[in-house]
């Protein structure tokens, strides 16, 4: 039996990883992924959204909702209002269209950056999602994503659907947006170090380098999503997708790891504290995820290996990748 799956945000970091995963694992005969990117439909427009879903939802088993307006720290700071409005529209339209198309299973992607800024005790668990406001730097994106979680629960309660939300920590990997201004921290640093090496200049890192983060490789996210699908996961609970809290790493050490991969002199790295750092820490628990994966063969990609793969991909695709 072939599973027919609609993937919104199919051209993004996790979306492309899903297509790459079934290709590498030779699962194309088991899964038929239907891509939905911004080139196919403007998900901010209700009329376009419902027409697209009605034309593509026949015999669809599940929707993987990854589409979002995203960016790094500085894009969020500068465009909080726009980030809120765009993501609210996307999520409301997709949820409504999925429901009206008769699709009863959906996995929607949130982010750990939406958790409260002030936490009394780490690590953060799924139950803490609404226990306070998010960090000011990304409140537009964060509140829009929180509303996706709220609306998902409402659909489940009212219509007995099987919609769940996954909450990945900081995702990185191949197919990312390597923009120097609007990319997330790892792809932006990779691009910055690449240019510093090429132009024989200082590798500039915005901020002090002190904030701590957990990172997860995008191919690991794809594998976990397929695990949920294959095992027909039906618990209507949010699930944090993250490595262990002990794997938390500072932005300073991330920059050093990237420099090492480029064979770049670490003495030529400059941390510019004139730039804001963003949230210092947001350590999350992955206990719920580990219980779900307990009897599987899943193993997280180690950070060093993931960075190496990401940099190799970037170098091979530097002329055509998003940047």
Catalytic residues: 141
212-213 and 249-250 as β-strands: parallel, antiparallel, unpaired? antiparallel
Which helix (H) or strand (E) element contains residue 17? helix 13-24
Which helix (H) or strand (E) element contains residue 56? helix 46-56
Pairwise CA distance, residues 41 & 47, whole Å: 10
Question: To 5 degrees, how large is the angle CA 69–CA 17–CA 285?
Answer: 75
Q: CA of 160: how far to CAs of 5, 65, 103, 147, 165, in Å?
A: 20, 19, 11, 19, 15
Pairwise CA distance, residues 57 & 140, whole Å: 31
Contacting residues for 222 by C-beta, under 8 A, at least 6 apart: 14, 17, 18, 20, 21
31: left (phi over 0), alpha (psi -120 to 50) or beta: beta
203-206 and 239-241 as β-strands: parallel, antiparallel, unpaired? unpaired
Q: At what angle do helices 46-56 and 80-100 cross, to 10 degrees?
A: 40
């Amino acid at each position: 039996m072939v599973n027919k799956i609609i993937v919104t945000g199919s051209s993004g970091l996790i979306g492309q990883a899903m297509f790459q995963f079934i290709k590498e694992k030779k699962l194309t005969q088991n899964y038929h992924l239907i891509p939905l990117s911004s080139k196919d439909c403007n998900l901010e427009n209700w009329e376009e959204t419902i027409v697209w879903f009605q034309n593509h939802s026949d015999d669809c088993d599940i929707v993987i909702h990854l589409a979002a307006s995203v960016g790094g720290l500085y894009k969020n700071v500068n465009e909080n209002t726009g980030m809120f409005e765009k993501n609210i529209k996307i999520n409301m339209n997709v949820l409504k269209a999925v429901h009206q198309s008769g699709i009863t299973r959906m996995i929607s992607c949130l982010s750990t950056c939406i958790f409260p800024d002030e936490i009394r005790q780490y690590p953060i668990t799924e139950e803490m999602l609404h226990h306070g406001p998010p960090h000011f730097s990304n409140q537009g994106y964060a509140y829009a994503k929180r509303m996706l979680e709220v609306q998902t629960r409402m659909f489940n309660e009212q219509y007995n659907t099987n919609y769940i939300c996954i909450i990945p920590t900081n995702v990185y990997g191949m197919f990312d947006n390597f923009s120097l201004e609007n990319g997330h921290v790892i792809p932006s640093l990779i691009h910055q170090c690449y240019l510093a090496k090429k132009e024989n200049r200082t590798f500039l890192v915005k901020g002090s380098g002190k904030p701590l983060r957990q990172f997860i490789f995008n191919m690991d996210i794809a594998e976990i999503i397929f695990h949920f699908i294959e095992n027909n996961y039906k618990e209507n609970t949010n699930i944090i997708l993250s490595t262990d809290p002990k794997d938390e790493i500072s932005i300073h050490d991330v920059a050093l790891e990237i420099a090492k991969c480029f064979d770049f002199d670490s003495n030529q790295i400059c941390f510019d504290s004139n730039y804001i750092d963003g949230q210092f820490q947001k350590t999350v628990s992955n206990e719920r995820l580990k219980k779900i994966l307990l009897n599987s063969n899943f193993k997280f990609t180690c950070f060093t290996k993931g960075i190496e793969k990401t940099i190799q991909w970037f170098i091979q695709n530097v002329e055509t990748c998003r940047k």
